Amino acid sequence: MDRYVITGLGNIGLKYRNTRHNIGFMVIDELSDIFNIKVKKNHCLANVGEGIIKNHPVVLAKPRTYMNLSGQSIRALMDWYKSDISRLIVIYDDMDLPLGDVRIRYKGSGGTHNGMKSILNHLGTNQFIRIRIGIGRELNEDAVNYVLGRFPKQEKQIISQALDTAVKAITCILSEGIDIAMNKYNSKKDKGDV
Protein backbone atom coordinates (compact mmCIF):
# COMPACT_ATOMS: atom_id res chain seq x y z
CA MET A 1 0.00 0.00 0.00
CA ASP A 2 1.33 3.44 -0.97
CA ARG A 3 2.30 5.35 2.15
CA TYR A 4 1.17 8.88 2.88
CA VAL A 5 3.87 11.50 3.41
CA ILE A 6 2.46 14.01 5.91
CA THR A 7 4.64 17.09 6.24
CA GLY A 8 4.26 20.10 8.47
CA LEU A 9 6.12 23.25 7.50
CA GLY A 10 8.17 25.31 9.93
CA ASN A 11 11.63 26.41 10.98
CA ILE A 12 13.94 24.26 13.06
CA GLY A 13 15.46 25.39 16.35
CA LEU A 14 14.26 26.61 19.74
CA LYS A 15 14.20 30.21 18.48
CA TYR A 16 11.25 29.32 16.24
CA ARG A 17 9.45 26.84 18.47
CA ASN A 18 5.72 27.59 18.83
CA THR A 19 5.83 30.58 16.47
CA ARG A 20 2.93 31.19 14.10
CA HIS A 21 5.04 30.07 11.12
CA ASN A 22 5.62 26.70 12.85
CA ILE A 23 2.00 25.64 13.13
CA GLY A 24 2.67 22.86 10.59
CA PHE A 25 5.31 21.43 12.93
CA MET A 26 2.78 21.66 15.78
CA VAL A 27 0.31 19.48 13.87
CA ILE A 28 3.03 16.88 13.22
CA ASP A 29 3.84 16.92 16.96
CA GLU A 30 0.15 16.30 17.75
CA LEU A 31 -0.01 13.37 15.31
CA SER A 32 3.24 12.04 16.76
CA ASP A 33 1.82 12.10 20.31
CA ILE A 34 -1.62 10.69 19.46
CA PHE A 35 -0.43 7.86 17.22
CA ASN A 36 2.87 7.19 19.02
CA ILE A 37 5.08 7.84 15.98
CA LYS A 38 8.47 9.19 17.05
CA VAL A 39 9.62 11.93 14.65
CA LYS A 40 13.32 11.68 15.49
CA LYS A 41 15.21 10.19 12.53
CA ASN A 42 17.21 12.68 10.43
CA HIS A 43 16.48 11.61 6.85
CA CYS A 44 15.92 13.41 3.53
CA LEU A 45 16.73 16.80 5.11
CA ALA A 46 13.91 16.27 7.62
CA ASN A 47 13.05 14.84 11.02
CA VAL A 48 10.91 11.82 10.15
CA GLY A 49 8.95 9.05 11.78
CA GLU A 50 7.23 6.06 10.20
CA GLY A 51 4.07 4.46 11.53
CA ILE A 52 0.41 3.62 10.96
CA ILE A 53 -2.61 5.95 11.14
CA LYS A 54 -6.09 4.57 10.43
CA ASN A 55 -4.57 1.40 8.91
CA HIS A 56 -2.44 3.42 6.46
CA PRO A 57 1.35 3.46 6.51
CA VAL A 58 2.52 7.05 6.96
CA VAL A 59 5.66 9.12 7.17
CA LEU A 60 5.47 12.16 9.44
CA ALA A 61 8.04 14.77 8.49
CA LYS A 62 9.34 18.14 9.64
CA PRO A 63 11.79 19.57 7.07
CA ARG A 64 15.12 20.74 8.50
CA THR A 65 15.81 23.10 5.60
CA TYR A 66 14.07 26.13 7.11
CA MET A 67 10.79 27.29 5.67
CA ASN A 68 11.91 28.92 2.43
CA LEU A 69 13.71 25.76 1.22
CA SER A 70 11.03 23.23 2.25
CA GLY A 71 10.75 21.91 -1.31
CA GLN A 72 14.25 20.40 -1.17
CA SER A 73 13.26 18.11 1.68
CA ILE A 74 9.82 17.23 0.34
CA ARG A 75 11.22 16.36 -3.10
CA ALA A 76 13.78 14.08 -1.39
CA LEU A 77 11.07 12.45 0.75
CA MET A 78 8.78 11.77 -2.21
CA ASP A 79 11.67 10.29 -4.21
CA TRP A 80 12.93 8.13 -1.33
CA TYR A 81 9.54 6.70 -0.34
CA LYS A 82 8.31 6.50 -3.95
CA SER A 83 4.88 7.70 -2.83
CA ASP A 84 2.41 8.98 -5.38
CA ILE A 85 2.03 12.75 -5.30
CA SER A 86 -1.66 12.27 -4.40
CA ARG A 87 -0.43 10.84 -1.06
CA LEU A 88 1.40 14.01 -0.04
CA ILE A 89 -0.26 16.15 2.64
CA VAL A 90 1.36 19.50 3.49
CA ILE A 91 0.25 21.48 6.55
CA TYR A 92 1.14 25.16 6.90
CA ASP A 93 0.15 28.57 8.27
CA ASP A 94 -1.92 31.07 6.30
CA MET A 95 -2.09 34.77 7.20
CA ASP A 96 -5.03 35.28 4.84
CA LEU A 97 -7.31 32.96 6.83
CA PRO A 98 -8.95 34.04 10.08
CA LEU A 99 -7.23 32.80 13.22
CA GLY A 100 -7.98 29.12 13.81
CA ASP A 101 -9.74 28.42 10.52
CA VAL A 102 -8.71 25.18 8.82
CA ARG A 103 -8.98 24.74 5.05
CA ILE A 104 -8.26 21.61 3.03
CA ARG A 105 -7.52 21.89 -0.68
CA TYR A 106 -6.39 19.58 -3.41
CA LYS A 107 -4.17 21.63 -5.75
CA GLY A 108 -3.69 25.35 -6.05
CA SER A 109 -1.01 28.01 -5.91
CA GLY A 110 1.38 28.69 -3.07
CA GLY A 111 0.02 32.22 -2.65
CA THR A 112 2.45 34.40 -0.72
CA HIS A 113 3.82 31.49 1.33
CA ASN A 114 7.52 30.98 0.57
CA GLY A 115 7.56 27.39 1.86
CA MET A 116 4.75 26.45 -0.51
CA LYS A 117 6.41 28.27 -3.41
CA SER A 118 9.54 26.19 -2.79
CA ILE A 119 7.52 22.96 -2.75
CA LEU A 120 5.69 23.77 -5.98
CA ASN A 121 9.00 24.66 -7.62
CA HIS A 122 10.72 21.42 -6.57
CA LEU A 123 7.78 19.11 -7.27
CA GLY A 124 6.78 20.73 -10.56
CA THR A 125 3.10 20.17 -9.76
CA ASN A 126 0.37 21.63 -7.56
CA GLN A 127 -1.67 18.38 -7.47
CA PHE A 128 -1.26 17.47 -3.81
CA ILE A 129 -3.27 17.89 -0.62
CA ARG A 130 -2.64 20.91 1.53
CA ILE A 131 -4.10 21.90 4.88
CA ARG A 132 -3.91 25.60 5.69
CA ILE A 133 -4.35 26.86 9.24
CA GLY A 134 -5.34 30.48 9.70
CA ILE A 135 -3.05 32.58 11.85
CA GLY A 136 -4.84 35.85 11.14
CA ARG A 137 -2.97 39.04 10.43
CA GLU A 138 -2.15 42.34 12.11
CA LEU A 139 -2.49 44.88 9.31
CA ASN A 140 -0.03 47.34 10.86
CA GLU A 141 2.63 44.74 11.70
CA ASP A 142 5.46 43.63 9.43
CA ALA A 143 4.54 40.22 7.97
CA VAL A 144 7.90 38.60 8.82
CA ASN A 145 7.77 39.78 12.44
CA TYR A 146 4.17 38.61 12.68
CA VAL A 147 4.71 35.05 11.41
CA LEU A 148 7.86 34.66 13.53
CA GLY A 149 6.01 35.84 16.64
CA ARG A 150 4.38 33.54 19.18
CA PHE A 151 0.66 33.22 19.80
CA PRO A 152 -0.45 35.46 22.68
CA LYS A 153 -2.19 33.83 25.63
CA GLN A 154 -5.67 34.85 24.45
CA GLU A 155 -5.19 32.98 21.14
CA LYS A 156 -3.83 29.71 22.55
CA GLN A 157 -7.24 28.07 23.03
CA ILE A 158 -8.24 28.89 19.44
CA ILE A 159 -4.97 27.44 18.15
CA SER A 160 -5.35 24.34 20.29
CA GLN A 161 -8.78 23.75 18.71
CA ALA A 162 -7.32 24.34 15.22
CA LEU A 163 -4.60 21.75 15.86
CA ASP A 164 -7.27 19.29 16.99
CA THR A 165 -9.33 20.01 13.86
CA ALA A 166 -6.28 19.55 11.61
CA VAL A 167 -5.53 16.16 13.18
CA LYS A 168 -9.14 15.07 12.70
CA ALA A 169 -9.08 16.30 9.10
CA ILE A 170 -5.93 14.29 8.36
CA THR A 171 -7.32 11.11 9.87
CA CYS A 172 -10.52 11.66 7.87
CA ILE A 173 -8.52 12.06 4.63
CA LEU A 174 -6.78 8.76 5.35
CA SER A 175 -9.92 6.83 6.32
CA GLU A 176 -12.65 8.43 4.19
CA GLY A 177 -10.95 10.46 1.44
CA ILE A 178 -10.34 14.12 0.75
CA ASP A 179 -13.84 14.96 -0.52
CA ILE A 180 -15.49 13.87 2.73
CA ALA A 181 -12.76 15.61 4.74
CA MET A 182 -13.33 18.87 2.84
CA ASN A 183 -17.09 18.65 3.41
CA LYS A 184 -16.59 18.04 7.13
CA TYR A 185 -13.73 20.35 7.99
CA ASN A 186 -13.86 23.30 5.60
CA SER A 187 -16.65 24.68 7.76
CA LYS A 188 -17.44 25.31 11.40
CA LYS A 189 -19.63 22.21 11.75
CA ASP A 190 -19.13 19.65 14.50
CA LYS A 191 -15.75 18.03 13.92
CA GLY A 192 -16.43 14.50 15.21
CA ASP A 193 -13.89 12.18 16.84
CA VAL A 194 -10.40 11.20 15.74
Active site residues: 21
Nearest in space to 70 (alpha carbons), one of 159, 10, 126:
10
Task: Give 31-90 as a 3 state SS string.
Answer: HHHHHCCCCCEEECCEEEEEEEECCEEEEEEEECCCHHHHHHHHHHHHHHHCCCHHHEEE
Separation of alpha carbons 134 and 142, rounded Å: 17
Nearest in space to 129 (alpha carbons), one of 89, 189, 101, 100:
89
